[in-house]
Amino acid sequence: METAGEDYRLTRWVLVRFMGFVYFVAFLVAAHQIVPLVGSDGLLPADLYLPRVERYLERRPVRDWTMDGAWMHEIMKWPRALADGAGDLIDSALGRHWRMPSIFWHDHSDGFIQAMMWAGVAISFLAMCGCANVVSMLALFILYLSLDLIGQDWFSYGWDSQILETGFLVAMLCPLLDPRPFPARAPPMAFIWLLRWLIFKIMIGAGLIKINGDEVWRDLSALYYHYETQPVPNPLSRLLHFMPKWFHKAGVLWNHIVELIVPWFGFGPRLARHIAGILMAGFMVILIFSGNLSFLNWLTIVPCLACFDDSFWRRVLPRFITRHAVRCAQHAASENMPRPRRWRTIVPGGIAAALALMNLIGPLPNFFGRPQIMNTSYDRWHLVGSYGAFGTVGKERYEIVFEGTSDIVSDELSEWKPYEFKVKPGDVMRRPPVITPYHYRLDWQMWFAAMATPNEYPWTIHLAWKLLHNDPGALSLIARNPFPDDPPRYIRAVYYRYRYAPLGDKEDRWWTRERVGLWFRPLSKDDKNLRLILENAGWLRE
C-alpha cells in the first residue's frame, strides 16, 4: 500500500542520491573557500563573530516564531506562546549550544573547520553513491548547520536554509543504521508528503513574492532585465536577453503558471502528481541553463522528485537498477522481518507531526502576510522556512571593480590595474562562465555590495587592506592579481554601469560599461582612517 511507502523505494533511492550530490557540491564549495572567508585571518573571522553572538544571546531571549499577520496570527497565538515558553526553558538548561547549534563553539580553528568540511565532502560522496542512513545524513545536516551559523554574510542565502530543511526530510526517509541503497524497510510516507509540501511552499512562495513585490512581474516585463542583471550570467544569458519581447512576456507568464498553479497538483492523484513534478523539475532545468544560480535550482529539484512514485521511476531508470530494487524488496519480504518496534513508528511520526505544526505556525501565515517574508527560517535549526527569489528585479547592472597602482601619487593620471574576480563581470572582453552548481560566494556578495555602500558592506574595506598586502587567502578568491611580485601602494574601487554588448559586436565584447564614479577612494597601508576602521572591527592583526 502507498501509505506504507512500498511504492516509493526507488523514489527514496533517487532522492538520497540527488541530495548527496547537492551536499557534495555545497561542502566542496565550503572546503575551498571557508578559510579565507571566515577563518582566523579571513574577511569576516569567526573567532571575532562568535564572542559577539554569545554576548547577544546572554542579553536577550531568542524567539523562534516570527511572523506578522492578521487572522492567522491570532489563531496561532497560543501554539506560538507555548513553543516560546518551552524554548526558553530549554535555552536556560542548554545555553548557547541550543540557541545557536554549532559544533564550532569550542573549536573554530582553521584546521578544524577545514577538516569538517572535507568530512562533509566524503560523507556526501558516499550518499551520492547510494550509501546513506539516518546517522550519516544527520551528520551532513549538523555539519552544514554548524557552518551556516558561523558563515555570516557569506551564508546568508535562502538556499543555505533550504538545503538544511530538504536534507533533514531526506534523512528521515532513510533507515536508522542500514546503509544499503535498497534497505529492507520502506520509507515513511509522512516525509514524502512533507517533501511535497516543501516544493509547494517553495514554488508558491516564490510566485507570491514576485506578484506582490515588483510591478515588472505583474506587467510581464521582468525578463526584459533579469538576464542582464542577475548575479552571475552565463554565455546563454546574453542571447536570451536579446530575444524579442513576446518571448520574455511568455517566459514570465510561464513562470507564474509553474509557480502559482502547478504546485497544487503535487498533492493530487498519480497522473497529476507526475505531470506537476515534471513541469516543476523542468522549470528548474530551464533556470539552470539561463544563469549561474549556484546550487539553488539543483536543490529545488530534490523535493520535486517526491511527486513521483516507483511506477514513474520504473519507466525512466535503467532496467538493471529497477530489477535490483525488486530483488532487494523480495529478499526482504522472504526474511520474515519482525514487526518494527513501537518507537520506530512513534519517533518518525512525532517528528513529522512537529514539522507539520511548525509549518502551520510559520510559513503558512507568511503566504498571507504583508509584507511577505522571503528566505527566512522559523527555528534555529532551519527545519522550517519560507523561500522565494527575485521578488524585485534590477533594471540596471552595476559592478564594483577593484583597481591598484604602484605609483607614488594616486590620481586619475596614475596607472591603475584592475583585479579580475572569478566569475562576476569585470573585463568586458571576458566571456561569462558556466559554473552551476558551484558557488563563488565572494563574487555573489560583490553583486549585493554594488547595490549599496561600503558602510553597509565593511568587509570590502577589509578586502582592500588584504590586497594592499597581497594576502594569499584573499587572492585565492580572486582570478587575477595584477601585482604578483609586490603589492600595490593604493587600492580603490570604481563603480561602473554594465550592459550587454549587442550580438555580433565588431570588437567581440561581451559587455559595454560606463564609469559612474568611485565606490570608495584610493586607500593605502598608511591611511589613518582605514587603520581606524580595521582596529574598531578587530581586523588589524599586524
Domain identity same for 288 and 427: no
Is the backbone of residue 130 left (phi > 0), alpha (psi -120 to 50) or beta? left
Instruction: Tell me what pLDDT residue 61 has.
Output: 53
Instruction: Tell me what pLDDT residue 324 has.
Output: 80
Q: Is the pLDDT of residue 81 over 90?
A: no
Domain identity same for 225 and 270: yes
End-to-end CA distance of the chain: 67
Last residue of a domain, one of 324, 359, 386: 386
Last residue of a domain, one of 386, 406, 421: 386
Instruction: Tell me what pLDDT residue 2 has.
Output: 41
Residue 501 lies in a domain: yes
307 vs 338: which has the higher pLDDT: 307
Domain span at residue 55?
2-174+187-386
The whole-angstrom separation of Cα 128 and Cα 117 is 16
Instruction: Tell me what pLDDT residue 335 has.
Output: 59
**Contacts of residue 233, Cβ cutoff 8 Å, sequence gap at least 6:** 227, 291, 292, 425, 432
Residue 421 lies in a domain: yes
Domain identity same for 482 and 528: yes
Q: Is the pLDDT of residue 428 over 90?
A: yes
Residue 382 lies in a domain: yes
Domain identity same for 405 and 480: yes
Q: Is the pLDDT of residue 69 over 90?
A: no
The whole-angstrom separation of Cα 224 and Cα 208 is 20
Residue 82 lies in a domain: yes
Lowest-pLDDT range of 202-211, 333-342, 477-486: 333-342
Domain identity same for 345 and 313: yes
Chain segment 83-129, per-residue pLDDT in tens = 555 555 555 545 566 677 889 988 999 999 999 999 999 999 999 99
Q: Is the pLDDT of residue 227 over 50?
A: yes
Domain identity same for 409 and 374: no
Domain identity same for 79 and 217: yes
Q: Is the pLDDT of residue 331 over 70?
A: no
Q: Is the pLDDT of residue 29 over 70?
A: yes
Lowest-pLDDT range of 191-195, 243-247, 351-355, 418-422: 351-355
CA atoms within 13 A on the CB side of 66: 15
Domain identity same for 379 and 456: no
Residue 182 lies in a domain: no
Instruction: Tell me what pLDDT residue 478 has.
Output: 96
Chain segment 447-473, per-residue pLDDT in tens = 999 999 999 999 999 999 999 999 999
Instruction: Tell me what pLDDT residue 459 has.
Output: 97
Domain identity same for 369 and 419: no
Strand 397-405 and strand 478-480: the pairing is unpaired
Residue 391 lies in a domain: no
The whole-angstrom separation of Cα 279 and Cα 517 is 45
Last residue of a domain, one of 352, 386, 420: 386
> What is the chain's mean pLDDT, rounded?
89
Residue 181 lies in a domain: no
45: which 3 cell numbers? 573571522
Q: Which DSSP letter does residue 5 get?
A: T
Residue 542 lies in a domain: no
The torsion defined by the Cα of 252, 255, 256 and 262, in degrees rounded to 10, comes to 160
**DSSP secondary structure string for all residues of 454-479:** TTT-THHHHHHHHHTTT-HHHHTTEE
Domain identity same for 412 and 339: no
Domain identity same for 64 and 103: yes
Contact 144, 163 (CB under 8 A): yes
Quote the distance between the C-alpha of residue 11 and its chain's center.
Answer: 24
Q: How many domains does the chain have?
A: 2
Chain segment 309-325, per-residue pLDDT in tens = 999 999 999 988 888 88
- pLDDT above 70 as % of the chain: 89
Domain identity same for 350 and 475: no
